């Protein structure tokens, strides 16, 4: 089976992890600080604050914006549930703006229409490795005096007009095992605002600036040096790994370009794609359904995944939730029926890619 994702850490990560173990400093320490510096450089920001996972990054980013009961955060309905859970955990109300089919990200026009008197934060999601249209979204937030939190969990290194995703407001990143850069579990918050960075560092450490000097009601959001040691060597190799993903995506697109009823992902003008996922749509014009394609791919040894099978609020635990406002999202509702992600990771061989292309073509009946 060709897997949808692969986790491989090299000898450099092993050596650095052993160094941490032997040092006796395995909680937050100098390795976390080093990871933060190198991560900030990669994104192109002044500050990066490490936390224990990507959901925590979202929650903490919202918490330092001082949301009050009744304040609304507008985000995408096409995202992993952590986006919604973080809004609820921060005490805010979640609203949603529909996506565009060409980038799977929130539509700036729909986002503008969703802004109301209680809106306090816009939270675009940079999905699958391609960022949302921040050239339109960032000015929208500025015009209305709104906070801007970028859910960049899947798009580390992607750019908009040459500017890094996660550099327009508070950027939040996941370093989960299957991400393009991983520490197993982990997260990062990026910003150019020194005041917000300082508050985040105090918040993640039980509200302490120094031992027993409490400045706010805080939490234990810390990352460990042992986790940071796994991530640091990947930063140096990150550009090359993304290039391999880009090359793999190009080979998939070339091989699948003429398949009837299959809509392929694209890298849009002015934006770079880091190909966390290669997601196609099995449209209504295809001779088979999306679920039939998945079954046939599995039979032929090609791993695939549905990210995501429903709008994020279309579950019993959210349908009647008083702080979840589920506005209609017709584009998202169509995409969740049609989307399927194919292997594109940088560990694929040429033979693997040929097998994926052949399997998809056969599954769709091309």
The catalytic residue positions are 179
Contact call for residues 223 and 28 (beta carbons, < 8 A): yes
The SS3 of residue 222 is coil
Cis upstream peptide for 308 (omega within 30°): yes
Closest CA to 352 of 244, 276, 260: 244
Closest CA to 340 of 364, 314, 316: 364
**C-alpha to C-alpha distance for 206 and 216, rounded to whole angstroms:** 8
Closest CA to 324 of 74, 110, 58, 100: 74
Across the strands, what pairs with 189? 49, 172
Q: 27, exposed or middle or buried, with CB in 10 Å at 0-12, 13-18, 19+?
A: exposed
**C-alpha to C-alpha distance for 176 and 271, rounded to whole angstroms:** 24
**C-alpha to C-alpha distance for 76 and 312, rounded to whole angstroms:** 8
Helix spans in the chain (H): 11-23, 30-43, 54-63, 81-89, 108-114, 134-144, 194-203, 225-256, 290-299, 316-319, 330-338, 350-364
Count of Cβ atoms closer than 10 Å to residue 116 Cβ: 11
């Amino acid at each position: 089976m060709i897997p949808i994702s692969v986790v491989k850490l090299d000898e450099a990560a092993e050596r650095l992890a052993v160094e941490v173990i032997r040092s006796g400093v395995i909680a937050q320490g100098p390795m976390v600080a080093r990871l933060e510096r190198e991560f900030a450089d990669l994104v192109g920001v002044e500050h990066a604050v490490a936390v224990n996972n990507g959901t925590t990054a979202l929650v903490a980013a919202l918490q330092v914006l001082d949301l009050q009961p009744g304040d609304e955060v507008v985000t995408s309905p096409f995202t992993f549930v952590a986006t919604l859970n973080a809004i609820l955990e921060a005490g805010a109300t979640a609203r949603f703006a529909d996506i565009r089919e060409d980038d799977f990200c929130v539509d700036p026009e729909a986002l503008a229409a969703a802004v109301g008197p209680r809106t306090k934060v816009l939270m675009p999601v940079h999905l699958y490795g391609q960022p949302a249209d921040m050239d339109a979204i960032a000015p929208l937030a500025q015009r209305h005096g709104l906070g801007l939190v970028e859910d960049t969990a899947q798009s580390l290194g992607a750019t908009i007009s040459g500017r890094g995703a996660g550099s327009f407001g508070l950027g939040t990143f996941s370093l989960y095992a299957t991400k393009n850069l991983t520490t197993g579990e982990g997260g990062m918050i990026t910003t150019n605002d020194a005041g917000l960075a300082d508050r985040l560092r105090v918040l993640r450490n039980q509200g302490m600036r120094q031992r027993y000097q409490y400045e706010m009601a805080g939490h234990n959001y810390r990352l460990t040096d042992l986790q940071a040691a796994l991530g640091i060597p990947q930063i140096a190799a990150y550009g090359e790994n993304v290039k391999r993903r880009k090359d793999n995506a190009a080979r998939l697109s070339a091989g699948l370009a003429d398949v009837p009823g299959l809509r392929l992902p694209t890298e849009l003008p002015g934006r770079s794609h880091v190909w966390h996922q290669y997601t196609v749509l099995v449209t209504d014009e295809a001779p088979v359904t999306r679920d039939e394609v998945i079954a046939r791919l599995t039979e032929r040894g090609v791993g695939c995944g549905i990210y995501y099978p429903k709008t994020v609020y279309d579950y019993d635990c959210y349908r009647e939730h008083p702080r979840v406002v589920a506005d209609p999202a017709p584009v998202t509702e169509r995409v969740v029926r049609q989307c399927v992600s194919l292997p594109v990771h940088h560990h694929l061989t040429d033979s693997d890619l040929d097998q994926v292309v052949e399997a998809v073509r056969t599954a769709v009946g091309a």
